Amino acid sequence: MIGSSPNSGESGSAADAAPPLLEALTGARPARTPVWFMRQAGRSLPEYRAARTRAGTSMLDACLDPELAAEFTLQPVRRHGVDAAVFFSDIMVPLRLAGLSVRIEPGVGPVFDEPVRTPDDVARLIAHRYAEDAIGQAGAGAIETGVRLAVGELGTPGAPGGRPGVGERARAGLAESRGPASWTPLIGFGGAPFTLAAYLVEGRPSRDHLAARTLMHADPAAWDALMTWCARVTGAFIATQVRAGASAVQLFDSWAGSLSPADYRARVAPYSSLALNIAGQAVSPTVGGRVPLLHFGTGTARILRDMRSAGDDGGCAVGIDDRTDLAWAIDELRADDGRRRDAQHRRRSPVVVQGNLDPALLAAPWEVLAPAVDACLEAGRAADGHIVNLGHGVPPGTDPDVLTRIVARVHGSEEWERTALAGWDGAAHS
């Protein structure tokens, strides 16, 4: 843990207080419950859309422009006062940095013109390496620079950040974000091996991932080679972000819920563990050591225990999607923790969860949304640590002021709610 928290029983100034997000990830209870939103950076923000229009660049190219990536990472922190930034990127970026041809088609998603379907296809794929050639190295360097630029404004322990020219309202958002600490954590992320493999095999998004599941069963050796490659590539991508200053990481598995628990445990979980282990070995200069790990997937109620067990010490925080009752999920993880301790005589790891407001509620009247936020907070108290988030990403059409108001409610701040209700002055944010 970095520094001490206001409710830790130790003395400490704001300069050495730990950000609430990092406290919660250790299983502690900070003075306020932390909150951030998956996909908080991007299409729901008018300032993002305006900047993308001015830049006139594709999504993947924007991810590899350090100035743009840092700006997009910081926009929701300045506006909403969330407890963490999440680095603006895409799960396809590491595949591009490994030399693969991939594009993101509007209204479709990632597309590969040459799907990986046969052992020969797999053999050609695994000949590629992350950041092996000059283009890949330049891309990895751009990721590092983007992270460092964002961390510079978010601040580092004992050294508040900020840059000249940021408007008063944006500075207020940064101050709300830091709370009792002098800095805001940046979360790095990457796609889980199965999600990457599913895109590679299908060639584009799929409802049932039939081609990927067929390869899994029809050719276990090719599947092992494919998944090992995906794990190493995404693990290296996440590690790049950590070494540049990320303070926590999340492995995002979009499609794991399409698998049976048995298939997940035997043919997917070991590779997710490999990716997390690679990321977990990286040292962040921001925290001066390894960083906490978050593991999230959709439709994963039946495999939450397995997701928590990924990584070296079996102690990942687990993201809970909006299809799963949060109280039930905490009970499941708590019961599993007792079984593992009894079987292995291991010291109990804290049960830390993230989630899980339904994104559909963001368009509901505040009289409906506010009690749902309160219910999420109440359910989360059963865990050792709880981070409020959505059960999936922010929908593109979301009113950003609603997100700011949720942050105010989670933080218990009437002052920040007044700020949310006043709206965002776009002319004053930069």
What's the 3-state SS for 252-317?
Answer: EECCHHHCCHHHHHHHCHHHHHHHHHHHHHCCECCCCECCCEEEEECCCHHHHHHHHCCCCCCCCE
Per-residue pLDDT averaged across 210-214, rounded? 94
What pLDDT, on the 0 to 100 scale, is given for residue 277?
96
Residue 4 banded pLDDT, cuts 50, 70, 90: very low
21-50 per-position pLDDT tens digit: 999 999 999 999 999 999 999 999 999 999
Enumerate domains of the chain plus CATH numbers.
41-319 (3.20.20.210), 341-420 (no CATH)
Task: Give CA–CA dist 254/262, Å, rounded.
Answer: 18
pLDDT at 339: 57
Task: Indicate the pTM of the whole model.
Answer: 0.92
CB of 81 closer than 8 Å to CB of 177: yes
> Comparing 386 with 336, which gets the higher pLDDT?
386
Quick one: pLDDT at residue 159?
A: 52
What sign does the dihedral 180-183-184-187 (CA atoms) show? negative
Identify the pLDDT of residue 308: 95
Q: Per-residue confidence at 167, pLDDT binned at 50, 70, 90?
A: confident
* pLDDT value, residue 7: 36
Q: Is the pLDDT of residue 429 over 60?
A: no
pLDDT digits (tens, 9 = 90+) for 99-145: 999 998 888 889 998 999 999 999 999 999 999 999 999 999 999 99
The confidence score (pLDDT) of residue 39 equals 95
Per-residue confidence (pLDDT) for residue 426, from 0 to 100: 61
pLDDT band with cut points at 50, 70 and 90 for residue 165: low
Structure tokens at 5: 């928290």
Mean pLDDT, the chain, rounded, equals 90
For residues 405 and 77, give the distance between their C-alpha atoms in angstroms, rounded to a whole number. Answer: 13
Whether the per-residue pLDDT at 243 is higher than 70: the answer is: yes
Query: What pLDDT does 344 receive?
Result: 52
What's the Cα-to-Cα distance from 322 to each of 82, 206, 305, 340, 408, rounded to whole Å? 20, 21, 17, 26, 21
pLDDT in tens, 340-367: 554 554 556 899 999 999 999 999 999 9
Q: Collect contacts of 334-338 with beta carbons under 8 A, ≥24 apart.
A: 334/382, 336/305, 336/308
**150 burial type by CB count under 10 A (0-12 exposed, 13-18 middle, 19+ buried):** buried
